[in-house]
A and B are shown apart, each in its own frame.
Chain A
Amino acid sequence: MILKFFNVILLNGGIMIRTLISFVSLIILSTSYSALAKTKVTWSMESNADRDPIMIEKLQNAYNNSQGNYELVIEFEDNETRLTSMRTAMIGGMGPDIVETPGPSYVKEYHAAGMLENLDSYAAEFGWKDKMIPWAYSSGVFEGSLYAIPKTHESMVMLYNKTLFEENNWKVPTTLEELEDVAGKIKAKGMNVFSYGSDGWQPTHEHLVGIYLNNYAGPQAVYEAIIGEREWTDPVFVEALELLKKHMVDEGYWSGSLENYYAIGWDDFHAQFANRGAAMMTIGTWTFQATQLGIGASDDEWGWAPLPSLSSQSPDPNFMIAIGTTMSVNANGKNKDGAIDVLNWIMSNKDKVLDIAKDFEFGEMVVPLTLSSSDIPTDIAPQVQDYLSEYARITGEGNYGYCTWTFWPADPGVHIWKDMEVVWAGDISVEDFLYDHQKMWDKARKNGDTLPVPLRN
Chain B
Amino acid sequence: MKIFSNKNFVAWYFVFPVAFIHLFVIGIPSLASLALCLTDWRGLGEINYIGFENFIELFDDRYLKKAIINNVIWTIAFLTVPVGIALTCAYLLTGIKRGQMFFRLAFFFPYMLASVINCQIWKYLFHPIHGLGGFFERIGWDFLAVSPFTMKSTSLFAVAFVDGWHFWGFLVVIYLTGMYQVDNHLYEAADIEGATKFQKFRYITLPMIRPVFVFSIMIIIIWSVPVFDYVYILTGGGPAYSSEVIANYMYSQAFERFDVGYSSAIGTLMFFYVMIIVALFGLFRKAGWDI
Contacts and interface: CB of A to CB of B under 8 A. Distances in A.
Contacts of B256: 410, 414, 418
Contact of B151 (A114, A115, A259, A422): A259
B255 A113 contact: no
Interface stretch (B38-46, B183-191, B197-205, B206-214): B38-46
Interface in A406-449: 410-411, 414, 418, 421-422, 424-425, 427
Given A84-B255, A410-B258, A109 B240 contact: no
A410 B242 CA distance: 23
B257 A425 contact: no
A239 interface: no
Contacts of B252: 414, 418
Contacts of A344: none
A87 B43 contact: yes
Contacts of B46: 113
Interface stretch (A30-38, A260-268, A303-311): A260-268
A109 B236 contact: no
A260 B258 contact: no
B231 to A, nearest CB: 12
A87 B44 contact: yes
Contact of B129 (A84, A91, A257, A268): A268
Interface in B243-262: 252, 255-259
B166 interface: no
Interface in B1-59: 42-46
B257 A410 contact: yes
B178 interface: no
A403 B129 CA distance: 31
B285 to A, nearest CB: 39
Contacts of B239: 258-259, 262, 421, 424-425
Given A262-B238, A263-B147, A109 B257 contact: no
A232 interface: no
Nearest to A257: B146
Interface of A: 84, 87, 90-91, 109-110, 112-115, 202, 257-260, 262-264, 268, 272, 410-411, 414, 418, 421-422, 424-425, 427
22 contacts: A87-B43, A109-B43, A109-B44, A109-B258, A110-B44, A115-B44, A202-B236, A259-B147, A259-B150, A259-B151, A262-B238, A263-B128, A263-B146, A264-B129, A268-B130, A272-B129, A410-B256, A418-B238, A421-B239, A424-B239, A424-B240, A425-B239
- In the A-B complex, the 9 residue pairs with the smallest Cβ-Cβ separation, listed nearest first, are A113-B45, A425-B240, A262-B150, A113-B44, A421-B240, A259-B150, A263-B147, A422-B240, A259-B146
Given A115-B44, A410-B256, A425-B152, 13 more contacts: A109-B43, A110-B44, A112-B42, A113-B45, A257-B146, A262-B150, A263-B146, A263-B149, A414-B257, A418-B238, A421-B240, A421-B241, A425-B242
Interface of B: 42-46, 126-130, 146-147, 149-152, 236, 238-242, 252, 255-259
